[in-house]
Amino acid sequence: MSKLEQFQRFIRNNGKDLTGVDVPVILSNEQTKQPQLKFTFGWTIEVGVSQHEHGSYCPNGIQSGSASNARDYAHDKAKEYASGQNSLFNDRFLNILGPDIASNFLIRNRDLKSAPETYVGSKVCYNCSGSGSQSCSNCHGSGKNSCTGCSGSGRISVSRFDSHNNRTVYTTESCSSCWGSGKKTCYTCNGSGSVTCNTCNGGGYLYYSYTIDGDAKRSTKWAYNSNDYHEWTSEFVKNNGLDLVYHLTEIAEVDVEGTLDGCTFIYAFTAKLPTLQFTATIDKVDTTMCFAGKNDTTHNAGGVYDPAVWFVAQEMTGNDQETDKDILATPAIKDIIEAHTTNTQIALLTENWVSKEINDAVISNYQHLVTTLKKQSVKGIAPNMFLSLIKYTYLFFTLGMLIALLFPSFAAETSHRMSVSQVPEWIMALLMMKFGLFGLPAYVNYVFVFGLLWLSYKSVKKWYWKNIGKTKIWLLAISITLLLPHIGFSSYYNTLELLRHSPTIASSLVSGSLLVGVYLLIFGVKKPKRWYGKLFGLLAGLGIYCAIQYGLYVINPTYGFVVDHTHYAREVTKLLTSALDFMKHNVFEWGLLSISFTYFLTRRRFWLKAKTMVADYDSPVLLKSMNMDK
């Protein structure tokens, strides 16, 4: 069976499994050739001077006076090697790499090591300016330190018991440690005020050596000529490497001027590269296909599967989930999309089984599908966010009002407590160490702050419900770091404060029922399914609400919810007004909680709903494209 027949059978046997449809193909005009390819490649010998620091130790080598003189001598010698006057590095290259090239065809960079000459020079020590000594750090050059026994005063306090007068007498006397001088000789420098320089070890000079080093750098360019009629052969070998060729012969050094970046050594060899080319008629369209190498590696399959792949891909619209699922499960479509999303290479595209034009068209349709699903996933989010904002705003307003009604004395003191608007000021005082947390030293504040920031970052990264960028992670982590201490301390101290106050249940019951009772109206509207049921539910909720308020008014004289029954409405209004003052002082907390709950809970609910919908497609790459793979 010829290569032509093998390839034709391959397409017919695998085309439907790959694309989902039959791929009609007729192949003809097979042409085979064994071209002789001549490759040339080379190395540049790079010669340079390296500096080595030795500190106070003087190494072996050619003594050249100053370090600058030694460097200049080394550079002059290096020019001899680079110009070819001295062939040391060239000879080393031929001895080291020449046999490998001839026998194993190894193409690599090599270190040619250093020339035998080492030039040694010195510099005046920068620490002691050549004196070999430096000021003693213990006594700061004075040679003496303050006496620790008398704290530098020269006298010490003593007490003696006077038995004659039966009393203790306090007096001072000369310090026996420093003999009354208040100073002691420095033990580090023995009173001299200077010590041996630790940079040059007292020598006053630092030593440097300069070596001449060589490297053989392989050129990144190749030169090759071919008598093959296939225009694609040279580029194909360049992209796929020499493992395609075989029968390497005539490896030898050649003289080629002006090529391969001016390499010092150029080698050449001749190799055989089998090629195969034929014409295929696919869906009544003629295309040229090319193969090369030991195993007839595909270079250009001519877009064999283009019509079949496009026939499947153009049905991907985002309007029919079942159809889209079948298309995404088609191997060719799945591989193309995964390669695009993960930025990887696949033979289906690199070997042109599917052309770039069809690949781009598939990706375009897929992006349209992703865009459609993203629109569906957030459909209705704006009105839901608005309704959620109203819901959470009223919820936290009601909770705040109930706290104020139950604990009026606590609410009256709210202006003396720190609000969230003062958090930046508190954080700045914390970082400037104006106080210490929990009675610890002030510098420990930084341990708490950076520790909390690190924990916040890790927590957001691990437990946030979806993958987000680093910028958003850091913004959330910083926000948590700023707000969490305020929330924690406020909750702790306010709870302790609340326990000190007695709740006024009776009076708060009347006022609180006005706020909580509103949920009866909401329940009456939401519970029924039909519109007329919602209308009746609203009326029923309104009736129960009014009945509760009237009932509290009727039993008030008996239970004394409001002391002044004759001015019932005015007293209830007064209670609500005092609670509103409490909410006014906490408007930032109230607003922040409402917005946070609205944003995160509503968006999370929509995200989970969208992820469930996308998961039905059974396509991990689709989840990744929509940032839902977490």
Give the pLDDT score at 541: 87
Task: Let me know whether 549 and 600 are in one domain.
Answer: yes
Can you list the alpha helix ranges (DSSP code H) found in 316-469? 321-329, 331-342, 347-350, 356-377, 381-406, 408-412, 423-431, 444-463
Q: pLDDT value at position 273?
A: 78
**pTM score of the predicted model:** 0.55
For residues 606 and 518, state if they share a domain: yes
Q: Are 65 and 107 within one domain?
A: yes
Where the chain has pLDDT below 70, the residues are: 1-4, 29-32, 34, 102-106, 159, 161-163, 169-170, 227-232, 238-242, 257-259, 282-283, 295, 630
Say if strands 110-124 and 62-66 run parallel, antiparallel, or are unpaired: parallel
pLDDT at residue 598, as a whole number: 92
pLDDT of residue 48: 92
Are the CB atoms for 568 and 562 separated by under 8 Å? yes
Is residue 375 assigned to a domain? no
- The closest alpha carbon to 411, from 507, 488, 517, belongs to 507
Q: What value, to the nearest 5°, has the Cα angle with vertex 214 and ends 208 and 219?
A: 140
Three-state DSSP class for residue 383? helix
Whether residues 119 and 217 share a domain: the answer is: yes
CA distance 380 to 603: 11
SS3 state of residue 414: helix
Are 153 and 186 in a shared domain? yes
508 and 496 assigned to the same domain: no
**CB-count exposure of residue 252 (10 Å: 0-12, 13-18, 19+):** exposed
In a domain, residue 355? The reply is no
- The domain that holds 188 is classified in CATH as 2.10.230
Please, which residues have CB within 8 angstroms of residue 579's CB and are 6 or more apart in sequence? 400, 401, 404, 405, 408, 411, 511
In this structure, is residue 467 part of a structural domain?
yes
The domain boundary, picked from 439, 473, 501, lies at 501
* Burial of 337 (C-beta count, 10 Å sphere; 0-12/13-18/19+): buried
Instruction: Give the model's pLDDT for residue 228.
Output: 63
Residues 233 and 339 in one domain: no
Taking the C-alpha atoms of residue 229 and residue 379, their distance in angstroms, rounded to an integer, is: 59
Could you tell me where the DSSP H helices lie in 46-109?
67-83, 88-96, 98-104
From 176, 196, 216, the end of a domain falls on 196
Query: Does 477 lie in the same domain as 423?
Result: yes
Residues 22 and 67 placed together within one structural domain of the fold:
no
pLDDT, residue 206, reads 93
In 10 A of CB 203, how many CB atoms? 19
Pairing of strands 144-146, 297-300: unpaired
Closest CA to 89 of 117, 67, 59: 117
Cα gap 225→254, rounded to integer Å: 15
Indicate whether 120 and 139 sit together in one domain. no
Beta bridge partners of 161: 168
Q: Is there a single domain that holds both residue 537 and residue 574?
A: yes
CA distances from 569 to 364, 514, 516, 553 (A): 67, 12, 18, 9
pLDDT of residue 95: 86
User: Which candidate, 242, 279, 276, 282, places its Cα nearest to that of 101?
Assistant: 242
How does strand 155-162 pair with strand 194-196?
A: unpaired
pLDDT of residue 115: 93
Q: Which domain holds residue 146?
A: 133-196
Beta strands 110-124 and 205-218 are antiparallel
Q: How many structural domains comprise the chain?
A: 5
Q: Which of 272, 307, 330 is the last residue of a domain?
A: 272
Model pLDDT for residues 165-174, shown as the tens digit of each residue = 777 766 777 8
Q: What is the pLDDT of residue 538?
A: 87
Does 379 reside within a domain?
Answer: no
| Residue of 432, 455, 414 whose CA lies nearest to 588 | 414
pLDDT attached to residue 466: 80
Is 352 within the bounds of a domain?
no
Identify the DSSP state of 378.
Answer: T
234-243 long-range contacts, Cβ below 8 Å, gap at least 24? 236/290, 236/292, 236/299, 237/37, 237/273, 237/292, 240/293, 240/297, 242/39, 242/105, 242/271, 243/293, 243/294
Task: Report the pLDDT value the prediction gives residue 2, as an integer from 0 to 100.
Answer: 65
Q: In whole angstroms, give the CA distance from residue 570 to residue 578.
A: 12
The CB-based long-range contact list for 617-621 (8 Å cut-off, 24+ gap) reads: 617/321, 617/324, 617/325, 617/328, 618/325, 618/328, 618/329, 619/325, 619/328, 619/329, 619/334, 621/334, 621/337, 621/338, 621/341, 621/342
Q: Residue 165 falls within a domain, yes or no?
A: yes
